[in-house]
Amino acid sequence: MTLPVPPADPLELAETFPVRELPVSYRYYRLHHHDREPEWFCTCGGCRFDPPDSESFGTCYAAAHPLGAFVERFGRLRNGVPRSLVDSHRLAGLGLPSPVRVADASDRTVVGRWGLSAELWAGDDYPGSQRWAERLHQAGFAGIWYPARHDPAGQLHSVALFGKPGHQPAAFVPYGDEVVSAELCDEAFTRFGILVLPSTSI
């Protein structure tokens, strides 16, 4: 464990942790397997801001840009991404039915106030990140805003939204669910060097 332990009293975070207001006008993006619903709030513990050892809430991960969704899904794969894997996913556009307040982990003051750094969203201490997610949820935040782990430039952002566990379609306004376009694959290669390998005919 390398992340600092969050305060025992969630009120400390509620009063001082930086806040970002997410408006209803903005569209978020989620890359999901074609046979799974995009409006899914995870509790499995395998994702960074899942609840630790409980199902008191679930977490739905989305990106502020389609490229961010692509990079977060496939950026960890080396030596190219098989086109068949890309084709097994869909890109969903999701809006918020009402404005929400999320904890802004990209605010630089979290370094001095809480001892937090990029390790919160990019490190390997998943249990530590999950403890922070739990405490921020208890503090009344609707989620966590953070830079995309797989963007070294820190220009793309993601959001982990808290909600009831499982499939919660009422949590979002749907804006389409589409195949991953060739243009998005090309952009991922141009900007990140992520190569989508062409399908091979048998």
Residue 202: pLDDT band with limits 50, 70, 90:
very low
Amino acid 109: pLDDT: 97
Q: What is the pTM of this model?
A: 0.94
Long-range Cβ contact pairs of 186-192 (< 8 A, separation 24 or more): 187/67, 188/67, 188/70, 188/71, 188/74, 191/67, 192/71, 192/75, 192/150, 192/151
pLDDT, tens digit (0-9, with 9 covering 90-100), for 1-24: 689 999 999 999 999 999 999 999
Amino acid 200: pLDDT: 61
What is the DSSP track for 25-51?
A: T-EEEEEEETTS-SSEEB-SS-STTSP
pLDDT, tens digit (0-9, with 9 covering 90-100), for 101-120: 999 999 999 999 999 999 99
